[in-house]
Amino acid sequence: MRSNQYYAAIDLGSNSFHMLIVRVVAGSVRTIAKIKRRIRLAEGIRADGTLTPEAERRALECLAIFADRVSDISPKNIRAVGTATLRKINPDDPILERMQQVLGHPIEIISGLAEAETIYQGVAHTSSSHKQLMVCDIGGASTEVALGEGFQPKQLISMDMGCVAWMTRFFPEGRISPSKVAQAIAAAEQLVTPHAANFAYASRPHVVGASGTFKALQEIAIHRGLSQRFKLPWLETLVAELSQYENLTDIQLKGLKPERALVLLPGLCILVALFRQLRLSYVEATEAALREGVLYSMLSDLQHHDVQLRTLTSLAQHYQVDTEQSQRVLNIFAQLTACPSVQQHLPPSASTLARAVAYLHEIGHSLSYKHAGQHNHYVLKNTPLPGFTLRQRHHLLELLTAIVGIIDDDIMPTELPVSPKHALLSRVLRISILCCQRRRDDTVPQCRLTSNLAAPPLLKLHLPANFASQNPFLTSLLNEESRFQQSFGGLLIS
């Protein structure tokens, strides 16, 4: 009996074959399994559009593994797509039919533009919405770029270059030379240049990279203690560093997986060309890719315009969080930050982060009241958060750490976030959560918050007349918080 509860997305790429299996739980996607095999299909295609016997063997062996894994999943919940190298295979070659027979499922060979759109959808459905989003994917045999807003791509291009193809063309037998590196970059620029005008209208889009090249760069940056937002000067410096090696097989960098060493420099040459010709300011790595786009094409019910809210709602349901309490915290946070003197000291993402904290700060309670804050931090640190960038995730964990000790028996934090704006945000969130501790709408005080221009700012909480005498419990909590905040700028209660 085949299950309708699971979905499988299969991406037959030019460098690797991927399979993603998920289950929908509480309105969100939960990953059950990921299988990846490095097939190097682009390396095995010959001039006549046929594959070498070695490439055929690697592909069929992998598809047999995939077929066994999806044998208990309903066929309507499986979608397999092939990309650049499969597009180049001679249609009369029986290998395509053999691949489908081994997989036991149809393989859809999608066009380059369809690939670009599917990759864009995969990123858009798993990242926070931006006014303009640009997605770059450097595959084994093709490179796709998509620019759009929300879930709607406006510009799509697919170019006949990829990290495996560039390795074969410019670095035969892995040999590296500065002249070959320059040729690889120049050839990539030549392919990108005709499309540059179509992206000229973009106004500082959020740029993400959705393939192995970007993930490899991310790991290198992490090990070097560098920003995970890559800019052209660092990329050019890395190209120069890699050019010092004699062979691709010699490349060894901390954080770089051995299987990525052969294709890192070729992929980097393509990325430098994209930066120069499309005038990119930066690029960040993203976990999403083609397979996520394939997956969400089967999950129309999860195509939510607010991906972050979908994630927060799903986690709240899973951990049985009191969402009415979350809304109380959000409402009073909006009330406390209405004053311009407070607003000007908060980060631009304050409302986004505050909503996340309001939804997630009580998750630890589902495990235990004792050390609930520590449980909360652990759960969220090890839980995927679709819709949140790495930077937002980092700030969110900082904020959750800064509010421990309010609603549990954890020790009060000894420090707040390093950023002054996020430190202030944590202080306002602490006050917001404290004001809602009676967990009833009619007990939340009608109050306002002001601040001075000091660094860090002194906050003043203005409560209704007679509040202290009528609300001894909340008053005691606020007085304790006032003593805590003396070390971080101060909080006056009036």
Domains located in the chain, CATH noted = 6-109 (3.30.420.40), 113-292 (3.30.420.150), 307-445 (1.10.3210.10)
Residue 3 pLDDT grade (very low, low, confident, very high; cuts 50, 70, 90): confident
Strand partners, 78: 8
Q: Which residue has the higher pLDDT, 389 or 105?
A: 105
Answer whether residue 78 shows pLDDT above 90.
yes
Answer whether residue 183 shows pLDDT above 80.
yes
Distance, in Å, from the CA atom of 492 to the CA atom of 200, rounded to the nearest integer, reads 51
Answer whether residue 209 shows pLDDT above 90.
yes
Q: Which two tokens stand for residue 49?
A: 């559009």
Distance, in Å, from the CA atom of 260 to the CA atom of 235, rounded to the nearest integer, reads 16
Residue 178 pLDDT grade (very low, low, confident, very high; cuts 50, 70, 90): very high
Res 139: pLDDT = 92
Res 305: pLDDT = 67
Of 170-179, 218-227, 399-408, 453-462, the least confident: 399-408
Q: Which two tokens stand for residue 479?
A: 């007085």
Residue 456 preceded by cis peptide, ω within 30:
yes
Distance, in Å, from the CA atom of 17 to the CA atom of 336, rounded to the nearest integer, reads 51
Q: Which residue has the higher pLDDT, 126 or 354?
A: 354
To the nearest whole percent, how much of the chain has pLDDT over 90?
60
Segment 418-435 shows an average pLDDT of 93
Segment 462-483 shows an average pLDDT of 91
Answer whether residue 60 shows pLDDT above 90.
yes
Return the sign of the alpha-carbon dihedral for residues 378, 386, 358, 334: positive
Task: Kindly report, residue by residue over 320-355, the tens digit of the pLDDT.
Answer: 888 899 999 999 999 999 988 888 889 988 998 999
Answer whether residue 68 shows pLDDT above 70.
yes
Distance, in Å, from the CA atom of 83 to the CA atom of 141, rounded to the nearest integer, reads 9
Distances (CA, A) of 164 to 53, 135, 142, 366, 432: 18, 20, 9, 48, 53
Res 393: pLDDT = 84
Distance, in Å, from the CA atom of 488 to the CA atom of 423, rounded to the nearest integer, reads 8
Answer whether residue 303 shows pLDDT above 70.
no
Residue 408 pLDDT grade (very low, low, confident, very high; cuts 50, 70, 90): low
What is the residue type of 456?
P
Has this prediction a pTM greater than 0.75? no
